[in-house]
Amino acid sequence: MQIKKFRANDTAEALRLIRKEFGSQAVILSTKDVDLGAGVFGFRKKCCVEVTAATDAEPSKTVSEFGDMPEGKLSLKKGTKGSVSSVLPARRQKAASLYREKSMNVVGRFKPAKLRGGFSRKTDQSMRFFGLYKELQDQGVKEKIAMDLVKELGRFSSLKRGFGAEDLTQGVIEILKKMGAVTKPIKIIRGEQKIVAMVGPAGVGKTTTIAKLAALGRLKSGRKMGMISLDDKKIGAVAELGVYSRILNVPMEAASTRGQLEQSLHNLRRKDVILIDTPGISRKENALMRRMQDLLQSVKSAEIHLLMSAATREKDLKAVLDRFKLLNINSLIFTRMDDSTEYGDLLNQLVDTRIPASYFADGPQVPENIEVATLDRLVELILKKDHAAKIAAPMTRSRQDNRKRLVYGPYPEKSYAYS
């Protein structure tokens, strides 16, 4: 499969370029307007259209607009009167007309919004997954990531017979792992203390997440848990964590300096896991960021988890990552999963940063609304149940084959336990 972007002054010119290079079997993936050059104060800015097209045909010589007719037949000799059509035999004129009509019927119907699984009946397996490409784009997955995923999935599916919805999900997961997407929950080694600090912007649910993990560690895994609050910024922050401390019967310490933090760690030295709560840090609070960096660096073995809301736009997610990179982030926790309907931005962060995700949180309930982050769960959120079955459906019009299509499901149950 070949995928290429074409730029031209208008759509008609772009389609001519696509037909010339890919032939009549090209498939339109997307189209958008782009600006070439800023110009002077915005003047002289040149606008053009960018069309992304694909074909499953093998690379070949450029296809002439009139088929494989020799170029010499199209040129008029010097001194010859009349048009090109006057030197073309009638039979070849008719063939050229039919070729143009066929080309426009295939490429000219410019409907990128109607890309669906199985719309191409070509033998190349990757062509059947353009429905998946459209689904990923609708979920906010970056164009390059979606294209690479589709191409790799085409190769993956060609090695497996009877490729169905369950195979589609597993194939996507395996390819995402190769692309750098990783998940990794908190791991506890017997005999070793684990110290975990939660950092992030204000309002992402750091305190609630700590309460959830403390409850899971104590009630479900039987671990000895401890909590430390470094949040002396928000009114009532220490009191809020104190409420959870009393309910869960988990000891809590408060600290705001290096000395106090060292003393708190000493008081909790017999605990299996210590969870550290930190204040929310906004974009302009550089002094607070440096103070948190100084405090956390004093705890050499601390594992830093950055919390971000799943409802945040990708541009803002990247800004949060850039802001907190001074703290040497080890893992990502995505909260407010229930507030979003698109999860492609989360996948983009995992692939681009290669920082593992540890947990997904989807509500305020303690400890129910949290689960171990897995690629299975993320792919499940991105690919809806009916869409996954449709995308992976066999490329056949036979009623008998349609009855044998696999059904996607069931959804995997949440995993709460520490590893």
Cα–Cα distance for residue pair 390/165, rounded to 1 Å = 8
For 180, the token pair is: 């750098």
- Given a contact cutoff of 8 angstroms between Cβ atoms, the answer to whether 332 and 358 are in contact is yes
> Taking the alpha carbons of 338, 342, 347, 349 in that order, is the dihedral positive or negative?
negative
What's the pTM value of the predicted model, to 2 decimals?
0.66
Eight-class DSSP state of 356: P
Segment 43-51 shows an average pLDDT of 69
At CA 73, angle to CA 69 and CA 75, rounded to 5?
125
Residue showing tokens 């998940």: 183
Range name among 8-17, 206-215, 299-308 with the lowest pLDDT average: 8-17
Cα–Cα distance for residue pair 69/58, rounded to 1 Å = 20
Eight-class DSSP state of 64: B
- Alpha helices (runs of H) in 179-236, residue ranges in sequence order: 206-215
Residue showing tokens 């062509």: 127
Is 227's pLDDT higher than 90?
yes
For 164, the token pair is: 């169905």
Q: Which helix (H) or strand (E) holds 331?
A: strand 331-335
> Where are the chain's structural domains?
1-65+92-112, 115-182+385-419, 194-373
Given this model, what pLDDT does residue 231 score?
A: 84
- Given a contact cutoff of 8 angstroms between Cβ atoms, the answer to whether 133 and 150 are in contact is yes
Label residue 337 exposed, middle or buried (CB < 10 Å: 0-12, 13-18, 19+).
buried
> Taking the alpha carbons of 74, 75, 76, 82 in that order, is the dihedral positive or negative?
positive
Spatial CA neighbour of 414 closest among 357, 359, 371: 371
Residue showing tokens 């008029």: 76
Three-state SS for 387? helix
Given this model, what pLDDT does residue 105 score?
A: 44
Cα–Cα distance for residue pair 357/180, rounded to 1 Å = 12
Given this model, what pLDDT does residue 221 score?
A: 79
Beta strand spans in 9-79 (E): 27-36, 46-55
Range name among 31-35, 154-158, 170-174 with the lowest pLDDT average: 154-158
Comparing 285 with 397, the larger pLDDT belongs to 285
Spatial CA neighbour of 277 closest among 330, 177, 199: 199
Is 202's pLDDT higher than 80?
yes
N- to C-terminal Cα separation, the chain:
41
Is 197's pLDDT higher than 80?
yes
Spatial CA neighbour of 120 closest among 32, 24, 50, 52: 24
Sheet containing 194-199: give its strands across: 252-254, 225-229, 273-277, 194-199, 303-309, 331-335, 357-361, 370-372
Range name among 20-34, 246-260, 273-287, 405-419 with the lowest pLDDT average: 405-419
Given this model, what pLDDT does residue 109 score?
A: 41
Percent of residues in the chain assigned helix, strand, coil, to nearest 5: 45, 15, 40
Q: Which helix (H) or strand (E) holds 171?
A: helix 165-178
- Given a contact cutoff of 8 angstroms between Cβ atoms, the answer to whether 257 and 227 are in contact is no
Segment 74-102 shows an average pLDDT of 45
Cα–Cα distance for residue pair 355/257, rounded to 1 Å = 29
- Given a contact cutoff of 8 angstroms between Cβ atoms, the answer to whether 360 and 376 are in contact is no
For 107, the token pair is: 């490429």
**Identity at 216, one-letter amino acid code:** L
Q: Which residues contact 42 (CB under 8 A, 6 or more apart)?
A: none
**Identity at 81, one-letter amino acid code:** K
**Average pLDDT of the chain, as a whole number:** 75
Q: Which helix (H) or strand (E) holds 358?
A: strand 357-361
pLDDT band, residue 385 (cuts 50/70/90): low
Q: Please write the tens of the pLDDT for every residue from 140-171.
A: 899 899 888 888 877 766 656 556 667 778 88
Q: How many CA atoms lie within 13 A of 189 on its CB side?
A: 3
Given this model, what pLDDT does residue 321 score?
A: 93
Fold classified for 194-373 = Rossmann fold (3.40.50)
β-strand partners of 193: none
Three-state SS for 185? coil
Q: How many CA atoms lie within 13 A of 357 on its CB side?
A: 28
Is 412's pLDDT higher than 60?
no
Is 43's pLDDT higher than 50?
no
Is 416's pLDDT higher than 50?
no
